[in-house]
Amino acid sequence: MATSTVTYLGGLRTVAKHLDSGAEIKTDAPKDNHGLGEAFSPTDLTATSLACCMISIMGIAAKKDGITPIEGASAEVLKVMYQEPRRIGEIHIKIVMPKLDYTDKEKKIYEHAAHTCPVAKSLHPDIKQVIEFVW
């Protein structure tokens, strides 16, 4: 069974529907590529998915290992496009952790979880992943 469907709405826009939940995400081509930039672009979603995956896997580590929780953690995402061919060249993510007393061991567990999340491991190795943690 399919995971999702994608429908072209015209005007360089799509709507993706998650079949299990019915949740929808609209995309728009970016301003620098003939679009209006009024929604996430597909490449924005790729970069954002990396941050979502990292934080989710860190949450799994917290639950599995019973360590200091990460509720309230956030991420700032910067996607850098390269040309010739047009592609994602770099993804910069700043993960800002709640102001709690994390041990050095917990920090290592969380950083390892983030760097080994499925999206991080699925991206082409030519995409530079620059990850910063703010404790």
Q: Check residue 10 and give left, alpha or beta (phi > 0: left; psi -120 to 50: alpha).
A: left
pLDDT confidence of residue 11: 96
What is the mean pLDDT of each successive set of 10 residues along the chain, which is 135 residues long?
97 98 97 94 98 98 96 98 96 98 98 98 98 98
Q: What is the pLDDT of residue 59?
A: 98
pTM, rounded to two decimals: 0.94
Position 54 scores a pLDDT of 98
pLDDT of residue 88: 98
Please give the pLDDT value at position 113: 98
Q: First vs last Cα of the chain: how many Å apart? A: 41
pLDDT of residue 24: 98
**How far apart are the C-alpha atoms of 128 and 117, rounded to whole Å?**
15
pLDDT digits (tens, 9 = 90+) for 44-81: 999 999 999 999 999 999 999 999 999 999 999 999 99
CATH 3.30.300.20 domain extents, the chain: 42-134
CA distance 95 to 51: 8
| CATH superfamily of this structure's domain 42-134 | K homology (KH) domain (3.30.300.20)
